[in-house]
Amino acid sequence: MSMSRERYFVTVDMSMLRISDVKTPDNTIQYEIYATDNEVDKIKALLEQIKSEDFQQQEILQRPFQEGKADKDKEVFQNELQELYQVIYDLGTVETKRVVGELQL
Please write the tens of the pLDDT for every residue from 49-97: 988 876 555 555 666 666 777 788 788 888 999 999 999 999 999 999 9
Residue type at position 95: E
Listed residue (42, 31, 32) closest to 1, CA to CA: 42
Q: What is the pTM of this model?
A: 0.82
Listed residue (76, 13, 77, 2) closest to 41, CA to CA: 2
Q: Which residues contact 13 (CB under 8 A, 6 or more apart)?
A: 28, 29
